[in-house]
Amino acid sequence: MGRLAAFAHRLGSPRWFFDITGPWLVVLSVIGIALVTVGSVWGLVFAPEDYQQGNSFRIIYVHVPTAHLAEALYLAMGAAGVVLLVWRMKLADMFIAVTAPVGMAITGVALLTGAIWGKPTWGAWWVWDARTTSVLVLFFLYVGLMALRQAIPAREQAGRAVAVLAVVGTVNVPIIKYSVDWWLTLHQPSSFSLTEPPTMPAQMWLPLLVNVVGFYCLVAAVVLAGLRNEILERESGTAWVRDWLARKLRGSVA
Amino acid sequence: MNTQRRNRLVATVFLLGGTAITAALVLTALEENVNLFYPPERVVNGDAPTGVTIRAGGMVVCGSVAHDASGLGVSFVLTDYQGSDFMVRHVGILPDLFREGQGILVTGQLDSGRVFRASEVLAKHDENYMPPEMAGIGIEAEACDPPDSTEPAFAS
């Protein structure tokens, strides 16, 4: 068995995952808070204003990281959905359950910052173009995942139904990404791509890069913390959780 | 991989593939309707209907902006820099980013003379950002420099 296969096999054990992720949580939180602090102060105070939009442009330092994460989280849930549907891995179900509300909140922030940016620059809070509408659909997909889980009492069936929706919904992500290229929209095209240099000088995109990485770390920490809680809750009857709790109460684990 | 898992994997791939194909077909069928606005070419060639509320867009032609001597009335010409342009007439407040050489969306109706009577004017900014000192002193002049050979934002 290769190392990857061995890792995937171990992921089948929520207990193993719980044991190894304790330190990750601390590391991700510390890095995330540090990067977001540096990136935000840099972007909001020290980066130059835009020649055309002035200070309104600075909302990019929140809008782009959240919008990027909104799509990435959904793709991650879609991948977890495939894992659950094919391999029936419990951890994948827990991941979807924990990530849906986080993704909804992040998408909400992306929509809100987009509206706040739109008013002073476009002249409108909201426009029904392909980009904004497809992101709104993404928001409702997140809500739908949560509602669907609540609507089905049996946990296993609920998990599979939600996984199907998670997989089907990933079709929306490339639509969001390419909406600004495929159709005439008010939203501008992306400032970043893998093949072209950024469409702004380094003094503007460096703090943005710092914030994007920082937001990723912070959100990963939030999802991980939620996942660990979910594991404890779902495995609460087992010996290892009782053991862990006893040690926790004695203060011998973090 | 055992048979059961392989079957589930195949079913999942079909689920995703089927959804993707469905979405692609729907969006292809909707094609023009997903566009937020009519580009200048389609306003000029008559694709855009007259007498109903529509949205159109283009770049503000340099030197075309004429404010009324009194009141908020303004008229200007929108173009795609590829030979199609049309006149817009608007009475009201213009967005802060409105200037000559700027991408603009207008909501309103084409009258019988094919003048666009706009009730709302929105500014479309591009994905390029730079500090003021890099943009140079003559921002207005720069925006009105001859653009690149194509203007993809407004090409149909």
pLDDT digits (tens, 9 = 90+) for A148-185: 999 999 999 999 999 999 999 999 999 999 999 999 99
The DSSP bridge pattern shows strands B85-91 and B116-124 to be parallel
* B99, two tokens: 């200037």
Could you state, in order of their start, the residue ranges of all structural domains in chain B? Answer: 1-34, 40-154
Report the pLDDT value the prediction gives residue A210, as an integer from 0 to 100.
Answer: 97
Across the interface, which of B35, B39, B125 has its CB nearest the CB of A188?
Answer: B125
- Contact criterion met (CB < 8 Å) for A201 and B130: yes
CA atoms of A169 and B78, how far apart (whole Å): 38
Report the pLDDT value the prediction gives residue A169, as an integer from 0 to 100.
Answer: 97
Looking up tokens 């879609």, which residue turns up? A78
Q: Which residues does B54 contact at the CB level (< 8 Å), separation at least 6?
A: B37, B38, B48, B107, B108, B109, B110
Q: At CB < 8 Å, which residues of chain B contact A? A: 5, 8-9, 11-12, 15-16, 19-20, 23, 27, 34-37, 39, 57, 95-97, 105, 120-135, 139, 153-154, 156
User: Considering chain B, what percentage of its residues have pLDDT values greater than 90?
Assistant: 50
Question: Quick check: B140 pLDDT over 50?
Answer: no
Question: Quick check: A247 pLDDT over 50?
Answer: yes
Residue A209: give the domain boundaries. 25-231
* A67, two tokens: 């919008």
Residue A83 lies in a domain: yes
User: Nearest CA of chain B to the CA of A108: how many Å?
Assistant: 22
Residue A1 lies in a domain: no
Arithmetic mean of pLDDT over chain A: 93
Confidence of residue A254 (pLDDT cuts 50, 70, 90): low
User: Can you tell me the mean pLDDT for A69-85?
Assistant: 97
User: Can you tell me the mean pLDDT for B35-61?
Assistant: 91
Residue A246 lies in a domain: no
CA atoms of B128 and A189, how far apart (whole Å): 9
How many structural domains comprise chain A? 1
* B143, two tokens: 């925006």
Report the pLDDT value the prediction gives residue B25, as an integer from 0 to 100.
Answer: 94
* B43, two tokens: 């306003």
Across the interface, which of A121, A184, A201 has its CB nearest the CB of B36?
Answer: A184
Q: What SS3 class is residue B95? A: coil
Chain A residues touching B36 at Cβ < 8 A = 127-130, 183-186
Q: What SS3 class is residue B87? A: strand
- Contact criterion met (CB < 8 Å) for A121 and B156: no
Chain A residues touching B124 at Cβ < 8 A = 122, 186, 188
Best A53, A86, A199 residue to mutate vs chain B (most B CBs within 10 Å):
A86
Which of these, A68, A125, A72, lies nearest to A99 by C-alpha position?
A72
Backbone angles phi, psi at A127, to 5 degrees: -135, 140
CA atoms of B89 and B92, how far apart (whole Å): 10
Lowest mean pLDDT segment, chosen from A136-150, A155-169, B124-138: B124-138
Residue A9 lies in a domain: no
User: Nearest CA of chain A to the CA of B56: how many Å?
Assistant: 10
Best B36, B43, B126, B129 residue to mutate vs chain A (most A CBs within 10 Å):
B129
User: Nearest CA of chain B to the CA of A205: how many Å?
Assistant: 9
DSSP string covering A7-58: HHHHHT-HHHHHHHHHHHHHHHHHHHHHHHHHHHHIIIIISPPBTTTBGGGG
User: Considering chain A, what percentage of its residues have pLDDT values greater than 90?
Assistant: 81
Report the pLDDT value the prediction gives residue B127, as an integer from 0 to 100.
Answer: 86
* B24, two tokens: 């692609």
Sign of the CA dihedral running A38, A39, A45, A48: positive
Report the pLDDT value the prediction gives residue B142, as an integer from 0 to 100.
Answer: 53
CA atoms of B151 and B155, how far apart (whole Å): 6
Residue length of chain B: 156
Question: Could you read off the pLDDT of B62-114 as tens digits, one per residue?
Answer: 999 999 998 889 999 999 888 889 999 999 988 888 988 889 999 999 998 88
CA atoms of A65 and A107, how far apart (whole Å): 10
Question: Quick check: A77 pLDDT over 70?
Answer: yes
User: Can you tell me the mean pLDDT for A224-253?
Assistant: 91
Report the pLDDT value the prediction gives residue A196, as an integer from 0 to 100.
Answer: 81
> What superfamily would CATH give domain B40-154?
Nucleic acid-binding proteins (2.40.50.140)
Best B8, B15, B25, B36 residue to mutate vs chain A (most A CBs within 10 Å):
B36
Residue A241 lies in a domain: no
Residue A189 lies in a domain: yes
Looking up tokens 């006893």, which residue turns up? A246
Looking up tokens 């998670």, which residue turns up? A166
Report the pLDDT value the prediction gives residue B39, as an integer from 0 to 100.
Answer: 92
Residue A76 lies in a domain: yes
Q: Which residues does A46 contact at the CB level (< 8 Å), separation at least 6?
A: A207
